[in-house]
């Protein structure tokens, strides 16, 4: 592996993590940068070839109504996109040794009316549950935090967290797959087109936060309900006791301190959509 000097202990831990994540290849930060550069160059070449070919499209004989040269181009394009989609289907994961510190960013739903962070005490955490509202508006059986931590397979994942403000960090999350949890607690809602996550609704909270995420991302195997960041329990600023993390969305969708989830087939809004951001906020 490139540039990684690992102690036997680190190597052992990484092997264990790799067994847990079963989400494909884990690469180092250096290798990631190299591949991104290569992908970028490939797109550049595609653009130039397209331009050069443009003038030659005239007077071509046709193949099923499509000029031959264009057709070859389309097939090549399709291959490129197939690769992009396949790559996109499972987000890049990194070696645990590449994990970085991450700042506290975004305190909506975590502050009191004096703008002080609200800490979640041990007893509150012990009784924490995520309430669920079904598509028909009914309250479903809530998900106790204690059940999340003890009834499901725990996954460690290391990926790049991206903020729309333009910074990114490689971070290590520990938690359970949202899809595993839903299968047990609300299987009938697993086909809901949208899921809207919210921070606690309370007069003590200065401003509630919400995040609407489409079915594909919520049910993806790399979407976790996480209670640890870089191997430590979440702090108040990072969204204790539980947050959603997914490598397919910008930070604005990665709601910290989940208190409730609502399922719906109607196009929802959320905190940032109401302020002009794109509802998907994905990449």
Which residues here bind ligand MTE, judged by CB under 6 A? 102-110, 163, 199, 209, 238-239, 251-252, 254-257
CB 20, CB 154: distance < 8 Å: yes
Shortest gap between Cβ of 177 and ligand MTE (angstroms)?
19
The HSE-up count of residue 93 (CA atoms within 13 Å, CB side) is 25
Nearer to ligand MTE, 92 or 238 (CB): 238
**Smaller CB distance to ligand MTE: residue 70 or 130?**
130
For residue 25, the surrounding DSSP H or E stretch is none
Options 46, 163, 190, 279; binder of Mo ion; rule CB under 5 A: 163
Residue 251 in contact with Mo ion, rule: CB under 5 A:
yes
Q: Pick the closer one to ligand MTE by CB: 189 or 270.
A: 270
Residue 103 interacts, among ligand MTE, Mo ion, none and using kind-specific CB cut-offs from 5 to 8 Å, with ligand MTE
Could you tell me how far CA 161 lies from the centroid of its own chain? 8
Nearer CB in complex with ligand MTE: 90/169 = 169
Other CB atoms within a 10 A radius of the CB of residue 258 amount to 23
Q: Which does 155 bind (CB under 5 to 8 A by kind): ligand MTE, Mo ion, none?
A: none
Rounded to the nearest whole angstrom, what is the least distance from the CB of residue 26 to Mo ion in the complex? 25
Query: Between residues 80 and 163, which has the closer beta carbon with respect to Mo ion?
Result: 163
Residue 273 binding result from ligand MTE, Mo ion, none, given CB thresholds of 5 to 8 Å by partner type: none
Encoded tokens for 278 = 């794109």
Could you tell me which residues come within 8 angstroms of residue 199 by beta carbon, excluding any fewer than 6 positions away? Answer: 108, 109, 110, 205, 208, 209, 210, 255, 256, 257, 258, 259
Return the one option of ligand MTE, Mo ion, none that residue 199 interacts with (CB less than 5 to 8 A, by type). ligand MTE
d(CA 140, CA 211): 20
Contacting residues for 278 by C-beta, under 8 A, at least 6 apart: none
With contacts defined by CB under 5 A, name the span among 19-27, 94-102, 155-163, 182-190 that binds Mo ion. 155-163
DSSP 254: S
CA 67 – CA 76 distance, rounded (Å): 14
> Could you tell me the CA-to-CA distances from 154 to 41, 157, 181 in Å, in that order?
38, 10, 11
Which token pair is 182?
Answer: 């839903």
> Smallest distance, Å, CB 138 to ligand MTE?
26
For Mo ion, the closer CB: 172 or 253: 253
The residue ranges that bind Mo ion (CB under 5 A) are 163, 251
């Amino acid at each position: 592996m490139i540039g990684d000097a690992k102690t036997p202990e680190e190597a052992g831990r990484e092997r264990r993590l790799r067994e847990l994540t079963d989400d494909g290849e884990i690469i180092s930060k250096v290798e990631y940068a190299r591949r991104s550069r290569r992908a970028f160059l490939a797109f550049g070449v595609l653009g130039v070839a397209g331009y050069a070919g443009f003038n030659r499209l005239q007077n071509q004989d046709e193949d099923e109504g499509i000029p031959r040269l264009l057709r070859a181009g389309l097939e090549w394009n399709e291959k490129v996109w197939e690769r992009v989609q396949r790559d996109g289907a499972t987000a890049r994961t990194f070696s645990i040794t590449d994990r970085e510190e991450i700042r506290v960013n975004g305190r909506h739903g975590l502050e009191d009316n004096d703008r002080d962070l609200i800490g979640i005490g041990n007893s509150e955490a012990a009784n924490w549950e995520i309430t669920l509202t079904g598509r028909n508006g009914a309250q479903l059986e809530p998900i106790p935090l204690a059940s999340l931590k003890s009834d499901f397979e725990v996954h460690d994942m290391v990926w790049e967290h991206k903020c729309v403000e333009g910074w990114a960090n490689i971070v290590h999350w520990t938690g359970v797959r949202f899809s595993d949890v839903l299968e047990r607690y609300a299987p009938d809602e697993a086909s809901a087109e949208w899921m809207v996550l919210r921070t606690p609704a309370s007069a003590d909270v200065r401003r509630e936060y919400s995040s609407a995420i489409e079915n594909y991302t919520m049910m993806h195997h790399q979407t976790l309900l996480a209670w640890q960041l870089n191997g430590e329990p979440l702090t108040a600023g990072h969204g204790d006791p539980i947050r959603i993390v997914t490598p397919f969305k910008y930070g604005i969708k990665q709601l910290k301190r989940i208190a409730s989830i609502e399922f719906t087939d109607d196009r929802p809004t959320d905190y940032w959509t109401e302020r002009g951001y794109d509802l998907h906020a994905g990449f």
